[in-house]
Chain A
């Protein structure tokens, strides 16, 4: 098998290499090597971990820019507003500390697993991704970036250069719940992220609710969000349980759980995640 390994130290060089020929992009390696098996080699590798442009988590005016090589530990260590709590809580539950120290947020999105821990929080935060190529860059909303299990709109010549999170109202809070069959190192049965912006009168000004592991791509529960918008916070202990709100979910039966259970548990997780946000506002 043909092999090569490039580790450029600037973005332009990386993009030029991608422009020449397709390459396996490698950052933390936690998905790439896990999928490799014991007896295969990687082929042509583009290692993006030495590129300064891709590092750092920065406040850039109307949004936050998370450099593509930021690890889960970097997110945990960053000074971010409370609305990012859902992402930090997800970061604590990605694999073990070893995975959090190596794995990157961008890699998690590009890998596009239906159970990717980073997707529900970033979806609830209305994140977009910045895709760079030798011909320029484009910004794609996260919900449009992942198109199916292990499928994204990333072209072979493109590199994800940053995750962009628009700033939300500073009073916003968020929560994240992950359900699995054991405490650590677990792929979720279901997970829920909620970002809640309170109004001035103890009502809900805005709420976004996203669910992972229950559909081919994590998704928002838009109808439920619309139903809850404007409701009083104190009403949240009696959440509408109507199945129509969960229509976007299409959970499957697999070794981790039955689809039926996923649906039932998700309704409960959504209720609890919203209550955690309400508690965080107290």
Chain B
């Protein structure tokens, strides 16, 4: 291997390194120089996460030959923190103030391109910023707050968010995210950013076909004869059970396929060796023989009785189904004056977080420790224990910072691979998925094929609805049962429908497993239901918003599962908050259409309502949170909920601080680690604010009582910590306790509290009747757009989103969830479709860029939930549910075309316009 020496200036310091010829410069920065602030999202110039400055110009370090750095002035995110930047740290501060960093994986790339712009243009326009950041993808924020942060970097402004500081109350305050500083500095450690020096590197061998049989040649000989390869592991090396899954009754996925693969990209073996050798190893020499078998990729093919069967005991490839029935559908349709129906389809959708899966494992005696990106550390622990054939307490999961998850990082990916290899080799083993590998092998949103029929009477009341949804669940169960259960409960939308029948089925195909993705099937069902609602409103000549209000749920009205809520049903309030915006938007659209006569531009406005149940469906779903006061005067919050960018670290701390009644700046966080923090459940189902937040509230309340007892102060006392002095005060009386004089436990705690919260639910009966969720969140969204009817091109102008979150714990973080959900809804409506085998990269699979997300106006409604902490409900998934249908309804307003097959790409939209 030829190496050469290169010399350059790096963040102001001269550097000299020798490097392998032709190496990507990003690898030199990360591996040789340890500057892991430069992230790798795709190695193809599609995401911009690796952007650095070369002689003041932004370039992608992943596509720059290391030798080309010779003699250059190189600047990375680490060098832009203070002083060197024209903005002198203003930019990073502005990112924090505006909530411009969520998970933080794109943040270094964004900071670098923004820095280059600000050096030339200290006060850029929004358009200039969009052009500058157009080459950096973000999947969390929806870009609008990034744009605001850059536009305002050098502006003295009233801060939208502030540092914790000393404060009496935290709930409702836009506190800057507590874990934000390392994200904007480039020092946050994501899964590919940290590993032991002696770690070996692993690479998976994966099926080239959707369905294949295979057999290995002599693997021992291969290991002996291949430089740098230490071992090859296959199914026979799995110490415990070669099977995993997320729902106990449906566990079916092998770590390594044993003789047959069921989707393209399924792993059959793991090659482990020294990093430099493994990274460029030509794996085509591994002795393996493939035999391609007949595959089925659609639910129609798979449900055919002659189709190959994927799993024993799942006849006709049916994994499971869901069912909800109430009232009398037949008589409901008889009472209808108008009936509409339709068939709608959506495709696979890729999560497209910018951080591909990564991590490492090490064996510590008879225990295995895994550091990786995950949304569910305790589920990982339990699952790995089974795979490894060891007890749960022999497994330790340490979540890295997570560069986006959105549901896919709930499932195991590389954790079993590195754990098995490290266990056998007794040496740390790391693995980093390539973008292609990530897209090939991890879960997707379920494709859907939905038939629905809805009837209404002349006065605009829904009389009946039927719904039948087929979901392509791919090769393995993953979260397919959850989607199948959740959809029939939600497919009616946030409306009172007396006569209702909904069924769903999850069908196996030879496609990647479809699992959890923000909304668990509900975004797909909302497309059908909200489109049909608009058609009904039109036939009845009733305003679409008014039609929805007439049918909306309210306190005391039963849902389709017969559940009634006495308080907290905020859907009407959401629609009413939109009403003035809606009326103005219709006037604007009509005016614009008037003046656009003779041009191909058509303007439209559309609306959609949404609801979403927080937490598991009719299943236990507890979170446990521990908090304590140490003798040094610090409150330590043991917070096991994984913050994947949504802000649970901050929100749960805010809730706990107010429950104790103490300023949030007294808090230290001990973050998710199965050895240190209790199980706070998985980060999914929009449950962390609601459930873990409630557990934090309860633990905080108990600790407050203990502290008041220590002070001997009355219940109404205000608490304060001043160094290691605890003060309790009521008007003119103050009680003071010196903490270092009190007995402490071995970890220095004076008092601790640990509380568990499990939201009350009831199982569903055979007709789907029961109480599946303790709480629903509600929302309504409105979209204004234009369509160029000669090209079928949609341009979004504005989204207005009203969401009932019960109580806004942190306005900036909550707004971030709204923006991010809308951006993903835009992708689903207009551009995203994962085609297995064809779109395994970020230039064939398109997600929205900075130019594709319009202005977003957020309106929060606070109809307090009886269970949630301070009345708060979940929000994360809800937002995405309404966006696509609102866009489709606006397209129909503009053009008359009904889009039934998503996405509404230009070719499909033009065809729909022509065929209407």
Given known pairs A37-B436, A96-B135, A265-B906, the reply for A182 and B67 (CB within 8 Å) is: no
Query: For the complex, is B4 an interface residue (Cβ under 8 Å from A)?
Result: yes
Pair A97/B67 contact, Cβ less than 8 Å: no
Query: For the complex, is B843 an interface residue (Cβ under 8 Å from A)?
Result: yes
What is the distance, in angstroms, from B438's C-beta to the closest C-beta of chain A? Answer: 11
Pair B135/A98 contact, Cβ less than 8 Å: yes
Residues of A within 8 A of B2 (CB): 3-5
Pair A5/B849 contact, Cβ less than 8 Å: no
Query: For the complex, is A268 an interface residue (Cβ under 8 Å from B)?
Result: yes
Q: Tell me which of A135-143, A184-192, A210-218 binds B.
A: A184-192
Pair A182/B831 contact, Cβ less than 8 Å: yes
Residues of B within 8 A of A29 (CB): 63-65, 68
B44, B67, B434: the one within 8 Å of A5 (CB): B67
A101, A179, A185, A261: the one within 8 Å of B134 (CB): A185
Among A90-104, those with CB < 8 Å from B are 95-99, 101-102
Pair B45/A42 contact, Cβ less than 8 Å: no
What is the distance, in angstroms, from B538's C-beta to the closest C-beta of chain A? Answer: 28
Pair A98/B113 contact, Cβ less than 8 Å: yes
Query: For the complex, is A34 an interface residue (Cβ under 8 Å from B)?
Result: yes
Among A42-56, those with CB < 8 Å from B are 42-43, 45, 47, 49
Pair A261/B62 contact, Cβ less than 8 Å: no
Interface string of B35-58 (1 = CB under 8 A from A): 000000001111010010010011
Return the chain B residue nearest A33 by Cβ.
B63
Pair B791/A268 contact, Cβ less than 8 Å: yes
What is the distance, in angstroms, from A276's C-beta to the closest C-beta of chain B? Answer: 15
Return the chain A residue nearest B46 by Cβ.
A185
Given known pairs A38-B436, A264-B910, the reply for A96 and B22 (CB within 8 Å) is: no
Pair B790/A182 contact, Cβ less than 8 Å: no
Query: For the complex, is A15 an interface residue (Cβ under 8 Å from B)?
Result: no
Pair A184/B851 contact, Cβ less than 8 Å: yes
Residues of A within 8 A of B852 (CB): 182-183
Task: Report Cα–Cα, A200/B501, bound state, in Å.
Answer: 73
Pair A184/B850 contact, Cβ less than 8 Å: yes
Pair A95/B68 contact, Cβ less than 8 Å: no
**Closest 6 pairs (CB-CB, A-B):** A96-B135, A183-B851, A184-B134, A5-B21, A261-B907, A38-B434
What is the distance, in angstroms, from B63's C-beta to the closest C-beta of chain A? Answer: 4
Residues of A within 8 A of B843 (CB): 185, 187
Number of B residues, CB within 8 Å of A = 67
- Which of B22, B43, B134 has the most chain A CB within a 10 Å cutoff? B22
Interface string of B99-113 (1 = CB under 8 A from A): 000000000000001
Query: For the complex, is A39 an interface residue (Cβ under 8 Å from B)?
Result: yes
Query: For the complex, is B608 an interface residue (Cβ under 8 Å from A)?
Result: no
B62, B136, B281, B835: the one within 8 Å of A39 (CB): B281
Task: Report Cα–Cα, A101/B48, bound state, in Å.
Answer: 13
7 pairs of residues in contact across A and B, judged by CB atoms under 8 Å: A30-B45, A45-B65, A98-B113, A183-B134, A184-B851, A261-B911, A265-B791
Given known pairs A97-B132, A102-B60, the reply for A26 and B65 (CB within 8 Å) is: yes
Interface string of B427-461 (1 = CB under 8 A from A): 00000001111000000000000000000000000
Residues of A within 8 A of B63 (CB): 28-30, 32-34, 102
B residues lining the A interface (CB < 8 Å): 1-2, 4, 20-22, 24, 43-46, 48, 51, 54, 57-60, 62-65, 67-68, 70, 113, 116, 130-132, 134-137, 203, 279-283, 434-437, 790-793, 830-831, 833, 835, 838-839, 843-844, 846, 848-852, 905-907, 910-911
Return the chain A residue nearest B25 by Cβ.
A29
Give the number of A-B contacts (CB < 8 Å): 172
Residues of B within 8 A of A3 (CB): 1-2, 20-22
Query: For the complex, is A40 an interface residue (Cβ under 8 Å from B)?
Result: yes
Residues of B within 8 A of A42 (CB): 21-22
Pair B65/A98 contact, Cβ less than 8 Å: no
Residues of A within 8 A of B24 (CB): 33
What is the distance, in angstroms, from B48's C-beta to the closest C-beta of chain A? Answer: 6
Task: Report Cα–Cα, A26/B790, bound state, in Å.
Answer: 41
What is the distance, in angstroms, from B602's C-beta to the closest C-beta of chain A? Answer: 15
Query: For the complex, is A255 an interface residue (Cβ under 8 Å from B)?
Result: yes
Task: Report Cα–Cα, A90/B134, bound state, in Å.
Answer: 15
Residues of B within 8 A of A39 (CB): 203, 279-281, 283, 434
Task: Report Cα–Cα, A184/B70, bound state, in Å.
Answer: 31
B1, B60, B282, B910: the one within 8 Å of A265 (CB): B910
Pair A261/B65 contact, Cβ less than 8 Å: no
Residues of A within 8 A of B281 (CB): 39
Pair A268/B790 contact, Cβ less than 8 Å: yes
Return the chain A residue nearest B794 by Cβ.
A181
What is the distance, in angstroms, from A269's C-beta to the closest C-beta of chain B? Answer: 8
Task: Report Cα–Cα, A26/B848, bound state, in Å.
Answer: 31
Return the chain A residue nearest B907 by Cβ.
A261
Pair B831/A181 contact, Cβ less than 8 Å: yes
Return the chain B residue nearest A28 by Cβ.
B63
Query: For the complex, is A60 an interface residue (Cβ under 8 Å from B)?
Result: no
What is the distance, in angstroms, from A216's C-beta to the closest C-beta of chain B? Answer: 19
Task: Report Cα–Cα, A42/B22, bound state, in Å.
Answer: 6
Residues of A within 8 A of B203 (CB): 39
Query: For the complex, is A151 an interface residue (Cβ under 8 Å from B)?
Result: no
Return the chain A residue nearest B795 by Cβ.
A183
Residues of B within 8 A of A37 (CB): 43, 434, 436
Given known pairs A34-B45, A39-B434, A98-B60, the reply for A185 and B135 (CB within 8 Å) is: yes
Query: For the complex, is A73 an interface residue (Cβ under 8 Å from B)?
Result: yes
Residues of A within 8 A of B851 (CB): 182-184
What is the distance, in angstroms, from B101's C-beta to the closest C-beta of chain A? Answer: 19
Given known pairs A97-B131, A98-B45, A102-B60, the reply for A183 and B850 (CB within 8 Å) is: yes
Residues of B within 8 A of A97 (CB): 58, 113, 116, 131-132, 134-135
Residues of B within 8 A of A99 (CB): 45, 60, 135
Task: Report Cα–Cα, A7/B58, bound state, in Å.
Answer: 22
What is the distance, in angstroms, from B553's C-beta to the closest C-beta of chain A? Answer: 36
Residues of B within 8 A of A260 (CB): 907
Return the chain A residue nearest B58 by Cβ.
A98
Pair A73/B57 contact, Cβ less than 8 Å: yes
What is the distance, in angstroms, from A75's C-beta to the closest C-beta of chain B? Answer: 14
- Which of A30, A42, A102 has the most chain B CB within a 10 Å cutoff? A102
What is the distance, in angstroms, from B839's C-beta to the closest C-beta of chain A? Answer: 6
Query: For the complex, is A242 an interface residue (Cβ under 8 Å from B)?
Result: no
Pair B65/A257 contact, Cβ less than 8 Å: no
What is the distance, in angstroms, from A115's C-beta to the closest C-beta of chain B? Answer: 10
Interface string of A117-155 (1 = CB under 8 A from B): 000000000000000000000000000000000000000
What is the distance, in angstroms, from B247's C-beta to the closest C-beta of chain A? Answer: 32
Pair A255/B907 contact, Cβ less than 8 Å: no
Given known pairs A30-B63, A34-B63, A38-B434, the reply for A181 and B905 (CB within 8 Å) is: yes
Pair A182/B59 contact, Cβ less than 8 Å: no
Residues of A within 8 A of B59 (CB): 98, 101-102
Task: Report Cα–Cα, A108/B59, bound state, in Å.
Answer: 17
B45, B116, B830: the one within 8 Å of A95 (CB): B45
Task: Report Cα–Cα, A268/B44, bound state, in Å.
Answer: 32
Return the chain A residue nearest B50 by Cβ.
A98
Pair B844/A255 contact, Cβ less than 8 Å: yes
Residues of A within 8 A of B65 (CB): 5, 26, 29, 33, 45, 47
What is the distance, in angstroms, from A271's C-beta to the closest C-beta of chain B? Answer: 9
What is the distance, in angstroms, from B557's C-beta to the closest C-beta of chain A? Answer: 41
- Which of B64, B434, B907 has the most chain A CB within a 10 Å cutoff? B907
Query: For the complex, is A41 an interface residue (Cβ under 8 Å from B)?
Result: yes
Task: Report Cα–Cα, A3/B131, bound state, in Å.
Answer: 38
Given known pairs A34-B63, A98-B113, the reply for A45 and B46 (CB within 8 Å) is: no
Task: Report Cα–Cα, A281/B136, bound state, in Å.
Answer: 36
Task: Report Cα–Cα, A24/B913, bound state, in Å.
Answer: 48
Task: Report Cα–Cα, A82/B20, bound state, in Å.
Answer: 45
Given known pairs A96-B136, A99-B45, the reply for A47 and B62 (CB within 8 Å) is: no
Pair B21/A183 contact, Cβ less than 8 Å: no
A30, A43, A45, A179: the one within 8 Å of B906 (CB): A179
Pair A7/B67 contact, Cβ less than 8 Å: yes
What is the distance, in angstroms, from A237's C-beta to the closest C-beta of chain B? Answer: 11
